[in-house]
Amino acid sequence: MEAMETEAKQRIQELRQLLQKASYAYYVLDSPIMEDAVYDQLYRELQQLEHQHPELVSPDSPTQRVGEKPTTQFTSVRHNIPLYSLENAFNVDELNNWDQRWRRQSPNAGAVDYVCELKIDGSALALTYENGVLVRGATRGDGTTGEDITQNVRTIRSIPLRLNVETKHGGSETSGASGASLPERIEVRGEAFLPLEVFQKINQERQKVGEAVFANPRNAAAGTLRQLDSRIVAQRRLDFFAYTLHIPGRDDASIASTQWEALELLQKLGFRVNPNKRLCSSLKEVAEYYEHWDTERLNLPYMTDGVVVKLNSFKLQEQLGFTQKFPRWAVALKYAAEEAPTRVENIAVNVGRTGALTPLAEMRPVQLAGTTVSRATLHNADRIAQLDIRIGDTAIVRKAGEIIPEVLRVLPELRPEGTKPFVMPSHCPVCGQPVVREMDEAVTRCVNASCPAILKGAIEHWVSRDALDIKGMGEKLVHQLVDKGVVHSVADLYDLTEENLYALERMGKKSAQKLVEAIAQSKNQSWSRVLYGLGIRHVGNVTAQVLAEKFPTVEQLADATQADIETIHGIGAEIAQSVYQWFRIDANQTLISRLKDAGLQLEIVLDAIAQNDDNQKLAGKTFVITGTLPTLKRDEAKALIQKAGGKVTDSVSKKTDYLVVGEDAGSKLTKAQELGVAQLSEEKLLEFFES
């Protein structure tokens, strides 16, 4: 028995090291060293061993990234070293003024080096490691006291749970730049942020379920970090750049004598450091760096609102010290928030699929953040009243850090005579029925289930990629079907014939045939996708999956009480009430009955494709996809291959059967050519599925 336990302990340690190395290569170096399937297999093996030997589970294990239970609250913690704010400068002249100020404090400094780093628009974190293991992650708070969010920090894949060091009882064997070994305790500072692509997807998801969108990635990151359920944090895929290394109670110079050396050491320890950093030998070089990124930052996959300039020498930093608020040796050289004045030509009101009325300012086109903006959200009636915005006003529009342009303020001194305050309509602008506004909501809604705007939104959601994924059913076609009275419900889609579609604009015989086939194929989509497609308020695709697992049939979910639904981990009262009430509406019960008659999957069943051996044309074949394909998105191509029994991996090897090649193919194509791997265009790939 003892020998078995020793063997298990050794294997657990080996698995943790392998998985840590793989995560570092994937998330930090962006250079995967193993296939996803291999990682998953090793991860499952580690899970099983830890389940069999719970006494061997440790906080730095990869299995501990997502907590089992949500926390009930965050506790306040005092920072070991205060997190100071940075003094701001908004142009090169103010940068020069900063340089002159610190030189008056240290007149003999002479020529110095400066380190420039992009100022990431996210949330600052303080990470504490003891003997190489992450023991605490805290928010900035007021700089002196923050909140302990360790459970959420563990979910961020680019934050190592264990540093790339070999620790002993008394410290670490890994040396800093000067040759000194790392002490038992170190603290790393950095910025947690949401990549723009992830931020946009989160907002799209929130919009689909009728939730308020985040104003910008910074707010979204901060809100995500303060989620009580770490599983939600994990789903939102936060990222992290480290920028400072502190040794509490010890001279930093014994580990690294400069900021540049500290950044290099952070990378060695396993952290992502922004690759766009620069070591400058003069203020002129700093100014060039600042001016370069003023435009280039628009091409980055994350938001940055300026440049952080630090004196490179730690010795000089220590001499200069701090004011009451700021370090004297650093400055944030900010980019001016991009704002522009424009004339409000009209205020329109859109109606979404949840019936929400959203006012929009239609404006004279203006250039903002590299794009032409002619519309900006006004959110709701409260925001309109706060702005006192009127047709004819000159408004200041902002898009700095914003994905959705918004009106910042109006200039009443430029207001034309005779303008009138804008009032939200009392009746739906689409169907003419009275609208309502609940006491506890800022949103005004149309509650007419037959409203064409609601119907159009419901169908667009139903056919969307994450729901029933009906290809060929675009927005224009949906509008035609509703406007011509061909479709009055999503269930009507399954009664469409080719003859119904011929009468529509730009719909040929072949297109009609393909669309009818696509609609028929959607009947094979899973119960969780159907549930998501129903568009129940607050039910996103992840929530739909959780509900479908708990209630494997539509009858079970329809019969569930609100209390039953609330017992599901991660489902709150608001979601439970929304689901419960949806199934109490007669029209929705009729819809479910019609969908069942049409043959849709309203219970968990085995994948129909997997059951049909004739469809497993690519069984045993391994594919890699590289570059941008002409029509398919990468995950769409991956899904096609997997449904046909094929396997899709991230890296080319001797075991790869085919490389699917699109535009701008990179190193994977070169490696495939070296190994003699067969190459396929998208057209050739699709031929596999035609016969």
Residues comprising the chain, all counted:
691
* Contact call for residues 269 and 255 (beta carbons, < 8 A): no
> What is the Cα–Cα distance from 443 to 437, expressed in whole angstroms?
6
Amino acid identity of residue 295, one-letter, is: T
Query: 85 labelled as ligand-binding?
Result: yes
> What is the Cα–Cα distance from 265 to 260, expressed in whole angstroms?
9
Give 9-15 contacts, CB < 8 A, sequence gap 24+.
9/53, 9/56, 11/45, 11/49, 12/46, 12/49, 12/50, 12/53, 12/56, 12/61, 15/42, 15/45, 15/46, 15/49
Query: 220 labelled as ligand-binding?
Result: no
DSSP 63: G
Cα first-last separation, the chain = 57
- DSSP-derived 3-state class of residue 116: strand
Query: 86 labelled as ligand-binding?
Result: yes
Query: 36 labelled as ligand-binding?
Result: yes
Residues 6+ apart with CB under 8 A from 601: 523, 524, 525, 526, 527, 530
Amino acid identity of residue 332, one-letter, is: A
* Contact call for residues 372 and 366 (beta carbons, < 8 A): yes
> What is the Cα–Cα distance from 336 to 399, expressed in whole angstroms?
11
Query: 687 labelled as ligand-binding?
Result: no
Query: 140 labelled as ligand-binding?
Result: yes
* Contact call for residues 114 and 286 (beta carbons, < 8 A): yes
* Contact call for residues 309 and 97 (beta carbons, < 8 A): no
Query: 106 labelled as ligand-binding?
Result: no
494 forms bridges with which residues in the sheet? none
Give 565-573 contacts, CB < 8 A, sequence gap 24+.
569/69, 569/70, 570/70, 570/229, 570/231, 570/232, 570/543, 570/546, 571/543, 571/546, 571/547
> What is the Cα–Cα distance from 293 to 335, expressed in whole angstroms?
9
- The DSSP-derived string for 230-274 is HHHHHHTT-EEEEEEEE-TTS-GGGT-SBHHHHHHHHHHHT----
Query: 5 labelled as ligand-binding?
Result: no
DSSP 68: S
Query: 268 labelled as ligand-binding?
Result: no
Catalytic residue among 119, 399, 456, 647: 119
Query: 431 labelled as ligand-binding?
Result: yes
Q: Is 420 a catalytic residue?
A: no
Token readout for 74 is 């965050």
Nearest one of 527, 531, 526, 522 to 582, comparing CA atoms: 531
Query: 280 labelled as ligand-binding?
Result: no
* Contact call for residues 224 and 233 (beta carbons, < 8 A): yes
Distance of CA 80 to the CA centre of its chain: 31
Annotate 292-318 with b (16+ C-beta within 10 A) or e (fewer): ebeeebeeeebbbbbbbbbbbbbebbe
346 forms bridges with which residues in the sheet? 362
Token readout for 63 is 């299995």
Which residues line the annotated binding site for Zn(2+)?
A: 428, 431, 451
Annotated catalytic residues are 119
The binding site for NAD(+) comprises 36-40, 85-86, 117, 140, 191, 310, 334
Binding residues: 36-40, 85-86, 117, 140, 191, 310, 334, 428, 431, 451
